Chain A
Amino acid sequence: MTGDGRIVLRVDGLRKWYGEVHAVDGISFEVPTGTVFTILGPNGAGKTTTLEILEGIREPDAGTMEIFGEHLTRVDRATKQRMGVLLQEGNFEEYLRVREVLELFASFFEASRPVGEILELVALEDKARAYVKSLSGGQKQRLALGAALVNDPELVFLDEPTTGLDPQARRNIWSITSDLRSAGKTLILTTHYMEEAEALSDHVCIMDHGAIIASGSPLELMLGLGQETMVEFSVEGLEDRELTALAGCCKEFRRDGDQLTVETEDLVPTLESILGWSRSRSLAVRNMVVRQPNLEDVFLSLTGRKLRE
């Protein structure tokens, strides 16, 4: 963990209910300066609602917030001067040029970075004179990130920054966020991509149904599953009765169509029994992978569901 260990953001008992729907159901966490804090969870878990409260576009029903050492019931304008926000959904006027959008957003703040620097940061120098209308999805997202960074914020909220982007555009965003972290910014990120959470985060909290169900560094969370190893493989035309036989030799496994995942603490005997099982039944085992558990497995073991369904 980097930074000086001071807490930039603290949330206690934050709650937002919409009638019967408990969008955010009394969550508490704190984020030290200079770290990347990720909220991971499926769609509808309450990630975006949590962020929108912290960004100042929704008011909580209950709970307290402390941002930059100030106790707040709702995020005020002075706090927004020091924050940068990349909303999950949003647009710019189609007939503004890239540079004009950044100039517009820069004018909303008391102090801002030179627009040229921002263009360079998000690699849009070539597009400075292009209309928003003409940008690709990835370019629009980089522009949005640029607009979120015009005021050189200490605290940056990124709500699903890479959703809907192609792999190249996603890597671009990741590289910019890594640079921000290196520059000592505090980042609060939501995502439902576990690769993203693993790659970028210092701290991950997993949210489901408005509550935090697990919290820790990616490594801590994965180690929390025990000393297990995952064996993944697929078997074409797998039938249920074959599975009964497999259950005899492997305790923990799950099936997703033709895809099987076996959890084991003792890798070699497990591999031998899988191979023996397939040989005795003349099944073709394909694409076998042995790997360490990831955040997806953590979520699955906690909720019995996958992150993206």
Chain B
Amino acid sequence: MGILRVARAHLVTALRERVTLFWFLIFPVFLLVLLSAVFGRIGEGGGMQFEIALVDLDSAGEGSFSSIVVGVFEELSSPREEGKESLFALHRPAADEDPAAFLADETARLQRGQRAAVVVIPEGFSVGVQSALMAADGGSPLVVRYSEGSAASEVAAGIIEGMVAGVDREIQRRAGRLSEAGEVVVSDVTVGGGEGSEYIDFLLPGIILMGFFVNGLFGIPGSILFARDRKVLRRYWVTPLSVPRYLLGLSLGHLTLCAIQFALLFIIGRFALGARIAFSGLDTIGILVLAAATFMAFGFLIASLARTGNAGMAIANVLNMPMMFLSGLFFPVAGLPAFLRAIIRVNPMSYLAEGLRASLGVQAATQSILLLVGVPLLWILVSAAIAARRLRWDVAR
């Protein structure tokens, strides 16, 4: 009986407090709508397509390196199947147009937001690549112009850079510089991918995980520590309520809040934003519960490390951004420096994001199921063990 009342108290106080209500429910919904509006173009039902201009100032002819690059862009801008949009809508100068004048026009369009990126193959590019391959020093690099103010433009630039890196590796491999092309081209792995999934389908699981994450990271230490500091908890401890019962109630209330969060995001994602993924698979549900539990355990860990509620919020704030962004939750992580990849490798969010997307068929898993479930489980165990030893239930005297 006590457990259910504690759960209810946790839930209603979270829903009644405007600050928590905003961060736990309104903010994820807002972010979901915003991101899908920016990247997903609500209502058109289409994937994402970037308007790209390509200028070949090198014009070195058939078989040159510049023609390989042009070929890659042409390939990516032709639809793969009937009725599907390609990743890029490519704009090239007409046969009789002056490339320099075309470049100036397109750069102006980029500034007006009509182009996501302008790719320039500079003069002497092919010769430069050749000499670079021979002497291992740089020739004239490919130039990608993009607009920093525009999110779509930055994403497009990122994709092009990744693509170019892939092209580079391919050239190097052909030149015998790399023995095996073991790495993948990042371009169409993530966004508007080839299996008919839309950006919203990629985004929705990420936002749901983010919601659980913020909820656990801030909600749990917030509830425990502020209640402890204000001696709300001490009033419980003079009654027969035990700490395990209180914890059970708190956890139950927390998971219910996560469920509400999930339901809200799912309904909006599905019916307002046109997501097609269904969260009905047993494996999907399992990973959602695992995610909520992992971040809840994380919250207990933070609560056990902080002396006061404010200190707990500070720790949560410090962990919040790196854990969210170094996880593959919002964008692909290939190509990041090694030390950042190391963080990603220990971050349970990476595994949960991958596991959830894999279970939904949005993106294929690159890790074994054992790791996808094992790493978060390990985090739960370690967090719970530390919290059980360190967490203080009354203010220090």
A80 sits at the interface (CB 8 A): yes
B 293-351 contacts with A by CB, 8 A: none
Q: Is the CB of A57 within 8 A of B394?
A: yes
Q: Is the CB of B232 within 8 A of A92?
A: yes
A151: B residues at CB distance < 8 A: 239
Closest to B3 in A: A107
Q: List 8 A-B contacts (CB under 8 A).
A: A57-B234, A87-B235, A89-B234, A93-B232, A96-B9, A100-B12, A107-B5, A109-B240
A19 sits at the interface (CB 8 A): no
Contact A95:B240 (CB < 8 A) given known A104-B6, A107-B2, A107-B4: no
Nearest Cβ on chain B to A184's Cβ, whole angstroms:
22
Q: Please name the 4 residue pairs, one residue from A and one from B, whose CB atoms are nearest each other, closest first.
A: A85-B238, A107-B5, A95-B16, A108-B239
B239: A residues at CB distance < 8 A: 80, 85, 105, 108-109, 151
A 74-115 contacts with B by CB, 8 A: 77-78, 80-81, 83, 85, 87, 89-96, 100, 103-105, 107-110
Q: Is the CB of A90 within 8 A of B240?
A: no
Contact of B240 among A96, A108, A131 (CB under 8 A): A108
Name B residues whose Cβ lies closer than 8 Å to a Cβ of A.
1-2, 4-6, 9, 12-13, 16-17, 227, 230-232, 234-242, 394
A104: B residues at CB distance < 8 A: 5-6, 9
B5: A residues at CB distance < 8 A: 103-104, 107-108
Q: Is the CB of B237 within 8 A of A57?
A: yes
A56 vs B243: C-alpha distance when bound (angstroms)? 14
Q: Is the CB of A81 within 8 A of B12?
A: no
A56: B residues at CB distance < 8 A: 237-238
Closest to A110 in B: B240
A31 sits at the interface (CB 8 A): no
A55 sits at the interface (CB 8 A): yes
Nearest Cβ on chain A to B396's Cβ, whole angstroms:
12
Contact of A96 among B12, B236, B238, B394 (CB under 8 A): B12
Closest to A79 in B: B240
Contact of A95 among B6, B12, B242 (CB under 8 A): B12
B4: A residues at CB distance < 8 A: 107
A144 sits at the interface (CB 8 A): yes
Pick from A55, A77, A85, A108 the residue with the most CB of B within 10 Å.
A108
A94 vs B239: C-alpha distance when bound (angstroms)? 20
A187 sits at the interface (CB 8 A): no
A240 vs B284: C-alpha distance when bound (angstroms)? 88
Closest to B230 in A: A91
Additional A-B contacts beyond A104-B5, A107-B2, A108-B5 (9; CB < 8 A) = A57-B238, A87-B235, A91-B232, A93-B9, A95-B13, A104-B9, A107-B4, A108-B2, A151-B239
A124 sits at the interface (CB 8 A): no
A81 vs B95: C-alpha distance when bound (angstroms)? 91
A118: B residues at CB distance < 8 A: none
A144: B residues at CB distance < 8 A: 235
B240: A residues at CB distance < 8 A: 77-78, 80-81, 108-110
Q: Is the CB of A96 within 8 A of B13?
A: yes
Contact of A107 among B1, B230, B235 (CB under 8 A): B1
Q: Is the CB of A92 within 8 A of B235?
A: yes
Closest to A131 in B: B16
Contact A147:B235 (CB < 8 A) given known A80-B240, A95-B17: yes
A252 vs B236: C-alpha distance when bound (angstroms)? 50
Nearest Cβ on chain A to B94's Cβ, whole angstroms:
66
A81 vs B238: C-alpha distance when bound (angstroms)? 10
Q: Is the CB of B238 within 8 A of A55?
A: yes
A77 vs B242: C-alpha distance when bound (angstroms)? 8
Closest to A81 in B: B240
Closest to A89 in B: B231
Contact of A108 among B12, B232, B241 (CB under 8 A): B241
A57 vs B4: C-alpha distance when bound (angstroms)? 24
Closest to B237 in A: A57
A107 vs B241: C-alpha distance when bound (angstroms)? 9
B2: A residues at CB distance < 8 A: 107-108
Contact of B234 among A90, A94, A95, A100 (CB under 8 A): A90
A55: B residues at CB distance < 8 A: 238
Q: Is the CB of B9 within 8 A of A87?
A: no
B234: A residues at CB distance < 8 A: 57, 87, 89-90
A92 vs B12: C-alpha distance when bound (angstroms)? 14
A36-64 vs B, Cβ < 8 Å mask (1 yes, 0 no) = 00000000000000000001110000000
